[in-house]
Structure 1
Amino acid sequence: MNKFEEKTIKTEKIFEGKIISLQVDEVELPNGKTSKRELIKHPGAVAVIAITDDNKIVLVEQYRKPLEKTLVEIPAGKLEDGENPIIAAIRELEEETGYTTNDLHFVTSFYSSPGFADELLHIYITNELTKVDNPKPGDEDEFVEVLELTLDEAKQLVTEERIHDAKTNYAILYLHALEGRE
């Protein structure tokens, strides 16, 4: 046991949905006192930094109900039960953008909001894209528009807060750092 570990005393399941579940854990703190933790359980997700032959970033614009606004993001989606993240990344890339690849490279993984959720997001990159004639259909309740932007155009969307999510901001920062090494 590490000195910061919180021992779970009791778990109460509150909600079980198709994307997340919510539970409240009663925990024993390192000092012996107890507290409650509201936890979101998530199967994990993938995202792809996709670069076209003419060095443009493939992004999708979509409405995000929790924010009540539209964001521009890198293609992404949740993992299915037991799904390999690299397979999920290729699937999401095709469903959301109509592109596929046989050359996907792992960049990093990170927890999106570790204060209350266990979602682990895996990011991949590719610059070997092929347009699919008949791409797999996306989720029937998902509406996206594909954008292809230069890095400078994407940086401008960051300043305008049209790109305003962690994974896409990470992707833009990552591409900016790569650009500096060239």
Structure 2
Amino acid sequence: MSNDPIAWDLVGERLAYDGFLSVKVRRYRLPDGRECDWDVFGPKAGVGTGVSVLPLTPDGRIVTVRMFRAGPDQVVTNLPGGLIDLGEEPAAAAVRELEEETGYTSESIEVVGWCHAAASSTFRKYVAIARGCRPDGKQSLDEFEDCVPVELTVGQFRAELRTPGAMTGTDAAYLALDHAGLL
């Protein structure tokens, strides 16, 4: 767009922390010549991007997970999802994460888009819709995951989205609902 601000020039970057997430300090030159450091976070080294899945059961319910999240420091509702391994396709990761976190499998999976995880993030989060989801798989949680699958009606899910602090990943949830025609 012609009225957009001028993009900043990336001058350099250094890794500040590499744990579950990585934090990099980027040095930028602003259009007026000043320079500043900006912290950005993303996936840890050796990990690709992420995926969130909107799982729909045959009767139209949404499969969510309830789990503790360290950022908000509380138990919240989430869409199932997680990290995409390097070289793994987002759709394959969506199928894998759905079963690992919920024990549900799906008849079909469709990647409908992606969003930035946050304004100061290099992390790209793909969004998928899984249809025909049934609890006929095997839940297989990571070492520090404690996911409890919960089926919600669309109305209950939308109420969770509107409740401050009840959910994380609301950007992916709204994108998925929009593509599924459920807003």
Do these two structures clear the TM 0.5 threshold for a shared fold by scoring above it? yes
Let me know the Cα RMSD of the aligned residues: 2.3
Does structure 2 conserve the Cα–Cα contact (< 8 Å) formed by 1:94 and 1:100? yes
Pairs aligned (count):
175
Q: Which runs of 5+ in 2 are unaligned?
A: none
Does structure 2 conserve the Cα–Cα contact (< 8 Å) formed by 1:74 and 1:167? no
Superposition TM-score, scaled by structure 1 size = 0.84
Q: Distance in 2 between matches of 1:48 and 1:170?
A: 12
Match of 2:13 in 1: 11
- Structure 1 residue 49 and structure 2 residue 54: aligned? yes
Q: Identity over the aligned pairs, expressed in percent?
A: 24
Q: 1:32 to 1:104 in 2, by over 3 A?
A: same
Q: 1:76 to 1:16 in 2, by over 3 A?
A: same
Does structure 1 conserve the Cα–Cα contact (< 8 Å) formed by 2:15 and 2:25? yes
Q: 2:128 aligns with which of 106, 124, 132?
A: 124
The DSSP-based 3-state class of the residue aligned with 1:125 is strand
User: C-alpha offsets along residues 24-65 of structure 1, whole Å, 9 cap, x if unaligned?
Assistant: 122211222211111113232101111111211000000111
Q: 2:170 aligns with which of 166, 172, 180?
A: 166
Q: Distance in 1 between matches of 2:78 and 2:140?
A: 19
User: C-alpha offsets along residues 92-129 of structure 1, whole Å, 9 cap, x if unaligned?
Assistant: 00001111224111222111213x11111111112222
Farther off after superposition, 144-153 or 2-11? 2-11
Match of 2:146 in 1: 143
Q: What letter matches 1:33 in structure 2?
A: R
Q: Distance in 2 between matches of 1:174 and 1:10?
A: 38
- Structure 1 residue 34 and structure 2 residue 35: aligned? yes
Q: What letter matches 1:121 in structure 2?
A: K
The DSSP-based 3-state class of the residue aligned with 1:107 is strand
TM-aligned CA deviation for residue 169 of structure 1: 4.2
Q: Which runs of 5+ in 1 are unaligned?
A: none
Does structure 2 conserve the Cα–Cα contact (< 8 Å) formed by 1:155 and 1:172? no
Does structure 1 conserve the Cα–Cα contact (< 8 Å) formed by 2:101 and 2:147? yes
Q: Distance in 1 between matches of 2:88 and 2:74?
A: 30
Does structure 1 conserve the Cα–Cα contact (< 8 Å) formed by 2:11 and 2:29? yes
Farther off after superposition, 153-162 or 38-47? 153-162
